[in-house]
Amino acid sequence: MKSTTRFRQLIERPEVLPALGGYDALSATVAEQAGGEVVYMSGSSVSTSVHGGPDVGLTTMTEMVERARSMVEAVDVPVFCDADTGYGNPLNVARTVESYERAGVAGVHIEDQTFPKRCGHFEGTDVVPVEEMEQKLRAATDARTDDDFVVIARTDARATAGLDAAIERGYAYADAGADVLFVEALRSEAELRRVAETVGGEVPLLANMTEGGKTPLYAAEEFEAFGYDVVLYPATGFKAAAKALQDVYREILTTGTQEGVMDRLLSWSERNELTGLDAVTEREQRYATDDSDAA
């Protein structure tokens, strides 16, 4: 089954779909091995891992697509991705969709922020006119060659114009062809429920769970009860990895040894199992030659 078709089926099932956020091939592999049915490529996590700074629109489309391709090649489950603003006008959006689709991605979300964009939970975001975003969505759906490729419309209007404006944009984006709606940075259960009770009747809904952001933390089952279909956990893994690096590096520099953190590291065998060393060794042996027979 195509990954795009599988992704659509997972969105359409009655149970909410948790989407663990990754940022490279290894994090995607860990997410899949943990039981993730999909992997989400977090733009925020990729951005920070590429240039070491905040998510303020510094990462390019080609950097994002190349990272997506490596994640797709590492796992068997569908991978869907942050595509920021589409990296320009509707023609840029079309090229973005074409590039992600060729990389094997199952879907993308495109947002209505102005450029340069920034994390939707930062202060200082702004949005483009609704008509501009509608044209981007039409360009996105026209550009895909696989009708099952999922185009997710994200609106950041809640932060700039309020909940009513965000809902109005949701209706407009559904009419423009979006397969799923993502209303970013909702502030409460009441707001989440209102989106579900209104525009949720038009298209499936995606919610974002980012720790420390503007949306309170809710469990996946709660989102299902609210009426949502997909829940992102975009940067949880990245922040866990970064915290572990901080702690381990400080321990080594303070004590001169890693002995004090050995219980927090993968063992030698666990690392080899995670990276599939046995399978690689088997392939090496299949193509090995006996030097004694040479000549």
Among candidate residues 24, 32, 82, 112, the one labeled active-site is 82
272 is catalytic: no
pLDDT recorded at residue 53: 85
pLDDT recorded at residue 167: 97
97 CB burial (10 A radius; 0-12, 13-18, 19+) = buried
pLDDT recorded at residue 290: 65
Is residue 195 domain-shared with residue 246, that is, in the same domain? no
Residue 292 lies in a domain: no
Is residue 137 domain-shared with residue 258, that is, in the same domain? no
Residue 276 lies in a domain: yes
Using left for φ > 0, alpha for ψ between -120 and 50, and beta otherwise, residue 130 falls in alpha
Residue 295 lies in a domain: no
| CB 110 within 8 Å of CB 127 | no
Greatest C-alpha distance within the chain: 79
40 is catalytic: yes
Residue 291 lies in a domain: no
116 token code pair: 């340069």
Neighbours of 286 (CB within 10 A): 7
109 is catalytic: yes
| CB 77 within 8 Å of CB 32 | yes
- Residue 253, domain extent: 242-285
Among candidate residues 8, 118, 144, 154, the one labeled active-site is 154
- If we measure between CA atoms, which residue out of 84, 69, 80, 101 comes closest to residue 37? 80
Coil/strand/helix, residue 3: helix
| CB 43 within 8 Å of CB 210 | no
Is residue 280 domain-shared with residue 160, that is, in the same domain? no
- If we measure between CA atoms, which residue out of 187, 135, 128 comes closest to residue 155? 128
pTM of the model: 0.93
Single residue among 234, 253, 271 that ends a domain in this structure: 234
89 is catalytic: no
Is residue 109 domain-shared with residue 86, that is, in the same domain? yes
pLDDT recorded at residue 55: 82
Which residues does the chain have with pLDDT short of 70? 118, 120, 122-124, 290-295
Single residue among 234, 259, 277 that ends a domain in this structure: 234
282 CB burial (10 A radius; 0-12, 13-18, 19+) = exposed
pLDDT recorded at residue 125: 79
Residue 294 lies in a domain: no
208 is catalytic: yes
Is residue 209 domain-shared with residue 80, that is, in the same domain? yes
Among candidate residues 32, 101, 184, 229, the one labeled active-site is 184
Q: Which residues contact 12 (CB under 8 A, 6 or more apart)?
A: 204, 229
Report in angstroms the alpha-carbon separations of 89 from 10, 165, 221, 251: 31, 22, 38, 48
Among candidate residues 111, 112, 156, 179, the one labeled active-site is 111
Angle at 118 between CA 195 and CA 155, to 5 degrees: 20
pLDDT recorded at residue 289: 79
What single-letter DSSP state applies at residue 188?
Answer: S
Nearest-angstrom CA–CA distance, 236 and 99: 27
pLDDT recorded at residue 70: 98
Is residue 114 domain-shared with residue 192, that is, in the same domain? yes
Is residue 109 domain-shared with residue 181, that is, in the same domain? yes
How long is the chain? Answer: 295
Is residue 111 domain-shared with residue 200, that is, in the same domain? yes
Nearest-angstrom CA–CA distance, 245 and 114: 34
Residue 284 amino acid letter = E
Is residue 61 domain-shared with residue 178, that is, in the same domain? yes
82 is catalytic: yes
Angle at 31 between CA 191 and CA 55, to 5 degrees: 55
111 is catalytic: yes
Is residue 193 domain-shared with residue 51, that is, in the same domain? yes
Among candidate residues 23, 24, 32, 40, the one labeled active-site is 40
**CATH at residue 72:** 3.20.20.60
Residue 60 lies in a domain: yes
270 is catalytic: no
pLDDT tens, position by position, 176-233: 999 999 999 999 999 999 999 999 999 999 999 999 889 999 999 999 999 999 999 9
Name the domain count of the chain.
Answer: 2
pLDDT recorded at residue 292: 57
Is residue 60 domain-shared with residue 176, that is, in the same domain? yes
Residue 128 lies in a domain: yes
Among candidate residues 119, 173, 228, 233, the one labeled active-site is 119
Residue 290 lies in a domain: no
> Cα 161 to the chain's mean position, in Å?
25
Is residue 150 domain-shared with residue 195, that is, in the same domain? yes
pLDDT recorded at residue 175: 97
